[in-house]
């Protein structure tokens, strides 16, 4: 599985520019799909099965990044705008990659002054893409992603864009296990532009009109020093979302997910997230409302180039999703949290 994670996380796909990764995923899903299509916004939609309940499973392809928006006239250094939620304290010295492979280095213009302790916006940063001739190779309007090689430390995998390529891995591995057989009409949707407003999920849900939806995404781990009080730890199983700031999971759906995990001996944790949300927040609002759950992959250092997951948790998420989409979808009315 590591090779698949490495391939997907190291792909270049900032929000709105997911085309390279979409092409890769499209080839990967073909052997397991009854139908593969791309909608008007760029979501990759993979259907398995026909008839019965329509179930939409969403994992987003895009990652946070930046876009060059101004070249300083004297130095040529690039100023930039964020694509998604940047952590400014992580930017100085970070590398970014533009679509043509050009590597840029981010710098704070006052790293030894105020920049050592505070970084409140992008105005104090610039990107160096100068070559040996002094020429700048990047045009204004060019997007870039943060660049770092994906590596492994025991069962831990560390890299950029785990958010949400690891959700794409869970979807892909579930597709493989289903081997083209499904009792329901399943739509695995690899969505676009999640990091800039859940846009792809909103469009996909309107087009597919699912009876039920499940989002796949990362969640913060509560086992970092001075971390928020979150009951989620690396290595302790799939995180079943109870609530975040954009989504309260319906009790009957929540109970169904927890009951399925317990029935099949799948390790799980309950996730209550005080900040952030997922594609589920958009999926639930389609048409007259869609019952929506979320399986989260515990992740340390979210929105950095060293997002860290545990393979045991990833496998637990695959196991849980596989059993959920194979179940009769008979939801109970009492949640067991």
Q: For residue range 188-213, what is the model confidence (pLDDT) as tens digits?
A: 999 999 999 999 999 999 999 999 99
Residue 189 lies in a domain: yes
CA dist 305 and 192 (Å) reads 20
Q: Are residues 134 and 248 in the same domain?
A: no
Q: Are residues 8 and 102 in the same domain?
A: no
pLDDT of 335 reads 43
Domain closes at, from 82, 111, 146: 146
Q: How far is CA 127 from the centre of its chain?
A: 25
Residue 235 lies in a domain: yes
Q: Are residues 49 and 175 in the same domain?
A: yes
**Can you give the pTM of this predicted structure?**
0.94
Q: Are residues 218 and 259 in the same domain?
A: yes
Range of the domain at 96: 65-146
Q: Are residues 175 and 260 in the same domain?
A: yes
pLDDT of 202 reads 97
Q: Are residues 47 and 195 in the same domain?
A: yes
Q: Are residues 90 and 29 in the same domain?
A: no
What secondary structure, in 3-state letters, does the chain show? CHHHHHHHHCCCCECCCCHHHHHHHHHHHHHHCCEEEECCCCCEEEEECCCCCEEEEEEECCECEEEEEEECCCCCCEEEEEECCCCHHHCCCCEEEECCCCEEEEEECCCCCHHHCCCCCHHHEEEECECCCCCECCCCCCEEEECCCCEEECCEEEECCHHHHHHHHHHHHHHHHHCCCCCCEEEEEEECCCCCCCHHHHHHHHHHCCCEEEEEEEEECCCCCCCCCCCCCCCCCEEEEEEECCEECCHHHHHHHHHHHHHCCCCEEEEECCCCCCCHHHHCCCCCCCCEEEEEEEEECCCCCCEEEEHHHHHHHHHHHHHHHHCCCCCCCCCCC
Domain count, the chain: 2
Domain closes at, from 90, 117, 146: 146
Residue 117 lies in a domain: yes
pLDDT of 112 reads 67
pLDDT of 337 reads 41
Look up 194 and say whether it is catalytic.
yes
Domain closes at, from 118, 146, 174: 146
Q: Are residues 87 and 222 in the same domain?
A: no
Nearest to 327 by CA among 93, 88, 52: 52
pLDDT of 62 reads 98
Q: Are residues 44 and 186 in the same domain?
A: yes
Residue 261 lies in a domain: yes
Residue 155 lies in a domain: no
CATH code, domain carrying 278? 3.40.630.10
Residue 57 lies in a domain: yes
Q: Are residues 57 and 99 in the same domain?
A: no
Structural tokens at position 45:
């939609």
Residue 182 lies in a domain: yes
Low-confidence ranges of the chain (pLDDT < 70): 112-120, 227, 330-337
Output 78-82 pairs: Cβ under 8 A, ≥24 positions apart.
Answer: 78/104, 78/126, 78/127, 78/128, 78/129, 78/136, 78/138, 78/140, 79/122, 79/123, 79/125, 79/126, 79/127, 80/122, 80/125, 80/126, 80/127, 80/144, 81/122, 82/122
User: Which entry of 185, 194, 236, 271 is annotated as an active-site residue?
Assistant: 194
Q: Are residues 289 and 178 in the same domain?
A: yes
Q: Are residues 56 and 77 in the same domain?
A: no
pLDDT of 336 reads 47
CATH code, domain carrying 71? 2.40.30.40
pLDDT of 332 reads 55
pLDDT of 132 reads 83
Residue 81 lies in a domain: yes
């Amino acid at each position: 599985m590591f090779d698949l994670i490495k391939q997907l996380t190291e792909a270049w796909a900032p929000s709105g520019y997911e085309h390279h990764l979409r092409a890769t995923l499209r080839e990967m899903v073909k052997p397991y799909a009854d139908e593969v299509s791309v909608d008007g916004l760029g979501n990759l939609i993979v259907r398995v099965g026909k008839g019965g309940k329509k179930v939409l499973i969403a994992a987003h392809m895009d990652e946070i990044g930046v876009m060059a928006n101004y070249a300083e006239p004297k130095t040529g250094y690039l100023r930039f705008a964020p694509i998604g939620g940047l952590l400014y304290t992580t930017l100085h010295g970070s590398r970014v990659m533009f679509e043509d492979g050009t590597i840029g280095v981010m710098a704070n213009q006052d790293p030894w002054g105020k920049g050592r302790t505070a970084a409140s916006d992008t105005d104090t940063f610039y990107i160096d893409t100068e070559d040996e001739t002094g020429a700048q190779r990047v045009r204004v309007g060019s997007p870039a992603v943060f660049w770092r090689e994906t590596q492994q430390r025991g069962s831990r995998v560390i890299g950029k864009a785990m958010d949400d390529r690891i959700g794409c891995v869970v979807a892909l591995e579930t597709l493989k296990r289903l081997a083209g057989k499904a009792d329901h009409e399943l739509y695995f949707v690899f969505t676009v532009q999640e990091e800039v407003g859940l846009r792809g999920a909103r469009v996909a849900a309107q087009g597919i009109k699912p009876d039920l939806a499940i989002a796949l995404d990362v969640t913060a781990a509560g086992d970092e020093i001075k971390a928020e009080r979150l009951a989620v730890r690396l290595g302790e199983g799939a995180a079943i979302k109870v609530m975040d700031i954009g989504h309260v999971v319906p009790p009957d759906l929540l109970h169904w997910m927890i009951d399925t995990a317990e029935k099949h001996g799948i390790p799980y944790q309950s996730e209550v997230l005080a900040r952030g949300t997922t594609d589920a927040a958009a999926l639930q609002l389609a048409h007259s409302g869609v019952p929506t759950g979320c399986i989260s992959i515990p992740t340390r250092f979210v929105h950095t180039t060293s997002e860290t997951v545990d393979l045991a948790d990833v496998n637990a998420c695959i196991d849980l999703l596989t059993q959920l989409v194979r179940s009769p979808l008979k939801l109970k009315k009492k949640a067991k949290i």
